[in-house]
Amino acid sequence: MSIDLSQFIPSFLEESFEGLELMESELLNLKEGDNETIDSIFRAAHSIKGGAGTFGFVKVTEFTHLVETLLDEMRDGRREINSKDTEILLESVDCMRLLIEAARDDEEYDQDKVAQTTSRLAETLGDEPSSDSDNQSENMVAASNVCGYTINFIPEHSLAKTGNDPLFIFSALAELGQLTLSADCNDLPALVDIDPQELYLSWQLTLYTDADEAEIREIFEWVEDECLLEVVPIPDTSNTSQDIDVLASEEEPQSQSTTTKQESLVNTPKSSTETELAQDGKVEDENIPAKAKAKADVGSIRVGVDKIDNLINLVGELVITQSMLSELGNDFDMDKVDRLTSGLEQLLQNTKELQESVMRIRMLPISFAFNRFPRLVHDLAIKTGKKMELVIKGEQTELDKTVMEQIGDPLVHLVRNAADHGIESCEVRLAKGKPEKGTISLDAYHQGGNIVIEIKDDGAGIDREIVLAKAVEKGLIDVNAILTESQVYDLLFEPGFSTAAEVTDISGRGVGMDVVKRNIQSLGGRIQVESTLGKGSCFKVHLPLTLAILDGQLVKVGSETYIIPLIAIVESLQIDNKLINRVSGDMVLYRLRDDNVPILPIYQLFNLATKCTEIDKALLVVVEADGQKIGLMVDDLLAQQQVVIKSLKDNYQQVAGISGATILGDGSVAMILDIPGIIHMALAQAQHAQREKTDGNASVTAEVCL
């Protein structure tokens, strides 16, 4: 019988990564005498090892076995819990993650890191050897007189209900040598009394192998509480000279010994008189195609049953409404108009609720993104020599899975920035009257139709004068420039900008903050900075809840309809001619309270024909991005509505000033404006016009001189 195990790999990977997160989280909170936490960590490692063995991920199994051994010594009280061992286990979790990712993607892993951690684990285990290792030589001598084992395996009837299959056990045993088995059917009831979920058989197995008894019993670890197991050695009477070979092999490296053993067992003769399960009949684990492993993890979402039930109910309501409308379509007359209108309203409501329900399925608690940061802050505290703690709030706030996956790296950089630039050293904090331990806070909450993520620290804050001086030094601003507070903080996101006194392996090269801003903007979000010198800083990341749907304002320009993202709109207003100022060139400014906002006619930007070309007769939509405001001149404001975003890049090509498109209710296509891109285009056009004007004046001067 052959089973394609590749279909189960995605589930194994998902559960393994969850297990690694649990191990990491528990290790960070591990305290001396906390046996319950150790048990939880051990169970997670044990599950990963067992699953990896089932799917033939040998490297994962071998490495995790060392981790499990160290945890077992802690669990049994043979080893005290200390910070040194905890750090080694945290490193081991990193290596397990590397090995599992390499197995998933069919790629190489950092062998030096794994080898170094393996060496540290082996060295740690050698510091306080367990009582079992004292008799290692004795066990090797005893094993030399054994050529195999007789195994009596009597599982409980309920074994299959827990997901355990004896076939997997027999397959693993067959890998160790020549396996023969016979089934005991004495407990098998009559056919009418058989419960298909019960297991009625027991087995007697004979395994010829040079593996020791511990390896045999380890295969039965998954079911040891659900069976009666007896392992009896078979004495080797063929040649006592083999004792010398076994003792000599003790001095060889373990990896070499294991390899030799596996190669020598492949061609072991089979018995023709008994039922066999040898190498040929084992479950297809090593035959899983590499590409199948690499493509197995295509991403998945765990959805609560309540969300699925709600979705099913809504589909049921939709079917009922559709049936009612179909019935109205038969022999329709004007007397049925009221019922038709009511049915269409019901259809609209059902469709809207169905859309919201489907979108909620993609929503996950942001704790999935926040879970990596306790470990990150822990490692940064060790690396920088500072004392700091992480406080997480709002971890149950939900966010679209796609947004969450893409926001991870920007958040990592902001947290690293807070730890390196924000939090001061212990000495400096004490001198300022602050607590010795600094605090970095992560918070997430909903605000309107968006989510806000705050990265806050109680550190030194941002020194405005240092930022301005650095910007002048790099030529980013003029020495006499007058900037608002938000404009000063926006300088932090310029490429290559850094106020660090020295470069470290954490930060200081001026690489990263510009990427952070660019990545956030690519998600349709924005970043806002608040800081008080000497008290700390707060970076606020505003993001849409989902990338699939956008809250937008529909505007009319000529015969075209455009959509402006609501998150970018500051306000909309009727233009007052008294507040219009024309400056050099073609630039027109609108005085909006304390700001002078440049006016950009949309019809000029996209070369559209429109009757509304006079500024004082148009409407102005003031938008903001990158800390800069601009007024978009439009003909008319239409409705506000949610629209489904369609990618232009995937379906056509990227267009400057356009971030996507959508299909409106009347079937027409409307373009979604890219506000940061439009502001960039407007500034480029203004600079180009200014250069042309300067060049023209220079030409006139030259002619006069001639």
The catalytic site residues sit at 46, 68, 417
Q: Are 166 and 155 in contact (CB under 8 A)?
A: yes
Does the CA dihedral 470-474-475-476 come out positive or negative? negative
Reading the block at residue 571, the tokens are 């306000």
Q: Please, what is the Cα angle at 561 between 661 and 609, to 5 degrees?
A: 120
Looking up tokens 């030799």 gives: 260
C-alpha span between 444 and 418 (Å, rounded):
17
The answer to whether residues 223 and 159 touch, using CB atoms and an 8 Å cutoff, is yes
The three-class DSSP label of residue 157 is coil
Residue that the structure tokens 């027109």 belong to: 588
Q: For residues 76 and 72, what is the distance between their CA atoms, to the nearest angstrom?
A: 6
Q: How far apart are CA 97 and CA 371, in angstroms?
A: 15
Nearest to 101 by CA among 202, 189, 13: 13
Query: Cα 643 from chain centroid?
Result: 27
**Contact of 88 with 120, CB cutoff 8 Å:** yes
Residues 445 and 540 sit within 8 Å (Cβ to Cβ): no
For the chain, give the number of residues: 706
Residue 551, helix vs strand vs coil: strand
Q: Which of 660, 637, 697, 701 is nearest to 544 (CA)?
A: 660
- Let me know: does 171 contact 5? Beta carbons within 8 Å: no
Tell me the C-alpha distance between 267 and 273, whole Å. 18
CB 477 within 8 A of CB 492: no
3-state secondary structure of 286: coil
| Sequence-separated (6 or more) residues with CB below 8 Å from residue 417 | 507, 512, 513
CA distance 635 to 556: 5
Distances in Å between the Cα of 254 and the Cα atoms of 62, 216, 526 are 11, 18, 55
How far, in Å, CA of 44 to CA of 68, rounded? 9
Placement of tokens 């197991």 in the chain: 229
- Give the torsion through C-alpha atoms of 490, 496, 497, 501, to 10 deg: 160
Sheet architecture: strand order including 146-155: 178-184, 202-208, 146-155, 227-235
What span, in angstroms and rounded, lies between the C-alpha atoms of 544 and 446? Answer: 10
DSSP class of residue 507 equals: S
CB 399 within 8 A of CB 543: yes
CA 410 to chain centre: 12
End-to-end, the C-alpha distance of the chain in Å comes to 98
- In the sheet that holds 619-625, the strands lie side by side as 569-574, 619-625, 628-634, 595-601, 588-592, 580-582
